[in-house]
């Protein structure tokens, strides 16, 4: 599904984020930027050791914030690492999750990047309920795109059909 938001496009696709050809892909990182499982592990495996070398130099990223490294061997030139919240029953996590998207988009724009691909941040081992994460994530992206014209394409790359369906339903409700 793809929709126009102001002068930008927002697309939802099912696939492997490590195969994206956007200017940057977003990594659902941990605060130590130490690599891990899920999306984080897949990006580090596909991108090679240069990404981890830069992560070690940066050292830390607080929840809701974002940092940027090379894309290594990926098709994307850059990886934006953002740390999503661990879900603890809805106690402030929505603001932190929204911040992951907003701060990643701000960082991309500050580097002159025009296209960014995101995964479903915090919905894996961090336990954020998929339906709630979809609404918060998409609202943050839509709000950013409505007030900024610097990013031309935001693509949410969902790993499986269920995630794509949940995000598609949430997008239909928001537009």
- Write the pLDDT tens digit of every residue in 90-117: 789 999 999 999 999 999 999 999 999 9
Of 16, 40, 131, 160, which one is the catalytic site residue? Answer: 40
- pTM metric for this prediction: 0.96
Residue 132 Ramachandran class (φ > 0 left, ψ -120 to 50 alpha, else beta): alpha
Q: Which residue, among 26, 140, 157, has the nearest Cα to 80 in the 3D structure?
A: 26
| CA 34 to mean position of chain CA atoms | 17
123-153 pLDDT, tens digit per residue, is 999 999 999 999 999 999 999 999 999 999 9
- The structure tokens 């126009």 sit at 4
Q: Domains in the chain and their CATH numbers?
A: 2-174 (3.40.220.10)
Is the pLDDT at 37 greater than 90, yes or no? no
How far, in Å, CA of 85 to CA of 155, rounded?
21
C-beta separation of 139 from 174 below 8 A: yes
Question: Is there a catalytic annotation at residue 160?
Answer: no
How far, in Å, CA of 91 to CA of 158, rounded?
25
Q: What is the dihedral of CA 48, 49, 53, 58, to 10 degrees?
A: 30
């Amino acid at each position: 599904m793809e929709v126009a938001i102001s002068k930008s496009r927002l697309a939802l696709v099912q696939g492997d984020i490590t195969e994206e050809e956007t200017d940057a892909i977003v990594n659902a990182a941990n605060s130590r930027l130490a690599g891990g499982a899920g999306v984080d592990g897949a990006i580090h495996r596909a991108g090679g050791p240069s990404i981890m070398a830069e992560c070690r130099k940066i050292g830390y990223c607080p929840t809701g914030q974002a940092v940027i490294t090379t894309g290594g061997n990926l098709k994307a030139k850059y990886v934006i690492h953002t740390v999503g919240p661990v879900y603890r029953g809805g106690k402030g996590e929505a603001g932190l999750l929204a911040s992951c998207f907003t701060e990643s988009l701000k960082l991309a724009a500050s580097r002159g990047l025009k296209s960014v691909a995101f995964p479903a941040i915090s919905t894996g081992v961090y336990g954020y309920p998929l339906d709630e994460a979809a609404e918060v994530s998409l609202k943050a992206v839509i709000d950013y795109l409505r007030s900024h014209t610097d990013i031309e394409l935001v693509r949410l790359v969902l790993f499986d059909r269920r995630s794509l369906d949940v995000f598609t339903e949430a997008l239909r409700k928001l537009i």
